[in-house]
Chain A
Amino acid sequence: MTLFGWGVLKGMGVTLKNFLTSYFRKPDEGGIFTVQYPEEREKPVENYRNFPFLVYDGTPEKIRCVACGICERECPPKCIHIEMELDAAGKPARKPAVFDIDHGLCMNCGMCEEVCPFDSIFMDHAFEVTAPERQKNLVRHKKELSKSNEYFKKIRPALASAVDQKRKAAEEKKKAAVPPPPPQSAGGQAQTTAQGPQ
């Protein structure tokens, strides 16, 4: 039979110990590991995913997305809207004219990244996305969503380099399979002019 109240005193000892040791213990040994957010920031881990973005190589015109619409169909909350760009002849240019993502709807599941066969949509590290108006500011358009491959390499180095290698290998394979490029482009032009008047 222990003294009544001994458990309470022991518990208070624990809290006192924690209070004192929090000043000199290291963060991962039971010390304080919170950061004062707006002034101090922790670097997000590489796998962290929050909101999708579109990757372009070099200039924003060379966007990787071909507007195939797979992510639009697979997106669980249906927050993606894509419209194909048409060239002068009215044929699909394999480029998005409109690419909107509603950040108010997106639930950061990463499905678009998983299904994209062209390595063009990836999950971002953006977490400061507050905006004054939901309809105006939270629907992000193509211009705001497009980010360079350098940015992608900066936030997710391992994945970006793996994707780059894969793309390079695929390009070389394509080059090896189709050796003469000039006749192909001429044929393509002839086709468009032939189909133009229709």
Chain B
Amino acid sequence: MLEINFGPQHPSTHGVFRMTVQLEGEKICGLKPVFGYLHRNHEQIAENLPYAAIMPYTDRLDYVNALANNFGYALTVEKLAGLEVPERAEYIRVIMAELSRVVNHVTVIGFMLNDLGAFFTPLLYAFRERERILDLFEAVTGSRLMNNYFCFGGVKRDLTNADLAAIRKIVSRFPAFLEEFEALLTKNEILCMRCQNIGVLSGKAATNAGITGPVLRASGVNYDIRKVDGYGVYGRFDFKVPLGQKGDVYDRFYVRVLEIRESLKILDQALTQIPQGEIMNKRSPSILKIPRNFKPPVGEAYGRVESPKGELGFYVVSDGTPQPWRYHVRAPSLINLTVLEEMCLGQKIADAIIILGSIDIVLGETDR
């Protein structure tokens, strides 16, 4: 038996992640994920900051789609402080969150194929489309990746008619790109042979381990927090939850492609329904210009959103001071990593890379 260290400097581990793999020949008979190389003390920093100042730090959790993290944190503090969100702001939030889901899924599919050995052609096609959405994020929020766009009780800037037209253009063009992308990949024999029946995760094992997001849905379990909680205005949209059958790597890839299509459906509906009006609650600390004086009442709140990676939850305990007394992040990447060994046992060492790629981890969120 041979024990090798995968990472933390290995390019296929998506950051600084280490796997200690026990091998018999090429077969994996044991795998231990080691993380913490990117630990940045996120929770402790947050406990020493005023509530509003934590928002830019949440961007740095899952840096591929910062808007989903903003959404989760804003939702939690609104729950804690009892802040209402105006109608228009709710729609803007849904539009931005779904765009960031599209960004995340094209990125993860691209990188997964990179891990497979389809070097950079699919990734660059995906990035070409991603770039358009990021340009829009830059025009609206001020930054491509670290958006810092949401605030308690609304969003920071309104979407102008020009922005809405730009989003409509992106949404109308995207299906053509997806058709092309699928022609390139979905029926590709090499991709099928490498992905089908690899890294199978049963629905029961996934629910036992607390897996959420596309990884869980690929195993055939119908659980989407947008449907279950209906937070924000998600209850008003008509969309399906795509499910996989086997729970292998191919299903995880394909569920994400289908999820992009559903996101586009939500975007279509949100763009037609978006009303005029306020974008921020009058009691919001950003309007009052006194972030440090924002003191939610004593209590605790747990808010969760369906981030593209799974259930992203924030647990905040307030003791009536400007800083949270306790702040915890339930990061989907970290929890989804716990089944890595189960999926990898009995597989070849080369498959461990794509299994890891198909879980879609971001180390900023895993290690915090």
User: Across the two chains, which residue of chain A brings its CB closest to B140?
Assistant: A47
User: Across the two chains, which residue of chain A brings its CB closest to B136?
Assistant: A45
Complex interface residues of chain B between 140 and 198 (CB less than 8 A to chain A)? 140-143, 146, 148, 156-157, 180, 183-192
Write out, one digit per residue, whether chain A residues 9-34 have a CB within 8 A of any chain B CB (1) or not (0). 01101110010000000001010010
B157 contacts across to A, CB distance below 8 A = 47
Selected from A11, A47, A74, A75, the residue in CB contact (under 8 A) with B139 is: A47
Q: Is the interface of B mostly helix, strand, loop or mixed?
A: helix
B143 contacts across to A, CB distance below 8 A = 48-49, 108
A5 and B132 CA atoms in complex are apart in Å by 33
B184 contacts A111, C-beta separation under 8 Å:
no
A114 contacts B189, C-beta separation under 8 Å:
no
A163 contacts across to B, CB distance below 8 A = none
A108 and B135 CA atoms in complex are apart in Å by 17
By CB atoms of chain B within 10 A, which of A6, A49, A109, A110 has the most?
A109
Write out, one digit per residue, whether chain B residues 102-122 have a CB within 8 A of any chain A CB (1) or not (0). 000000000000000000010
A74 contacts B189, C-beta separation under 8 Å:
no
A30 contacts B142, C-beta separation under 8 Å:
no
Interface size class of A (residues with CB under 8 A): 20 to 34
User: Across the two chains, which residue of chain A brings its CB closest to B187?
Assistant: A7
A11 contacts across to B, CB distance below 8 A = 183-185, 188
B183 contacts A14, C-beta separation under 8 Å:
yes
Selected from A13, A45, A73, A111, the residue in CB contact (under 8 A) with B138 is: A45
B142 contacts across to A, CB distance below 8 A = 47-49, 110, 123
By CB atoms of chain B within 10 A, which of A7, A8, A10, A48 has the most?
A7
Shortest beta-carbon distance, B147 to chain A, in Å?
Answer: 10
By CB atoms of chain B within 10 A, which of A6, A110, A117 has the most?
A110
Q: Which residues of A contact B (CB under 8 A)?
A: 2, 4-8, 10-11, 13-15, 18, 28, 30, 33, 45-49, 73-76, 107-111, 114-115, 117, 123
Those 9 A-B pairs whose CB atoms lie nearest each other, nearest first: A109-B56, A7-B187, A76-B53, A49-B142, A11-B184, A7-B188, A14-B184, A47-B142, A45-B139
Q: Which residues of B contact A (CB under 8 A)?
A: 49-50, 52-57, 59, 121, 125, 128, 131-132, 135, 138-143, 146, 148, 156-157, 180, 183-192, 286, 289-292
